[in-house]
Amino acid sequence: MPESKYQFPDGPDAASKMRAIYQSTSAEERAFQSLPNPGRPRLTPRDHEYNRKVKQLFENIIPGLPIDADAPELRREPACMETVVEGVMKQLNITGHSWINELKEAWPQIINAEIARQTIPGKLENNILFVYVISSTALFELRRTRLKEIEAAVKKFAPEKKIRYVKLMVNSVNV
Class of domain 98-170: alpha beta
Q: What pLDDT, in 10s, does the model give residues 65-90?
A: 777 767 777 777 788 887 888 888 88
Q: Which residues contact 75 (CB under 8 A, 6 or more apart)?
A: none
> Which residue type does 27 have?
A
CB 77 within 8 A of CB 128: no
Q: Name the average pLDDT for the chain.
A: 80
The pLDDT of residue 19 is above 70 = no
Q: Give the separation between CA 58 and CA 21, rounded to whole angstroms.
A: 11
Give the tens place of pLDDT for each residue, 117-167: 999 998 888 889 999 999 999 999 999 999 999 999 998 998 888 889 999
* Distance between CA atoms of residues 41 and 35, nearest Å: 9
pLDDT score of 25 more than 50: no
Q: Give the residue range(s) of CATH 3.30.300.180 domains in the chain.
A: 98-170
Query: What CA–CA distance (Å, rounded) separates 143 from 169?
Result: 10
Cβ–Cβ contacts within 10 Å for residue 111, how many? Answer: 19
User: What is the distance, to the nearest Å, from the Cα of residue 173 to the centroid of all Cα atoms in its chain?
Assistant: 21
pTM greater than 0.85 (yes/no): no
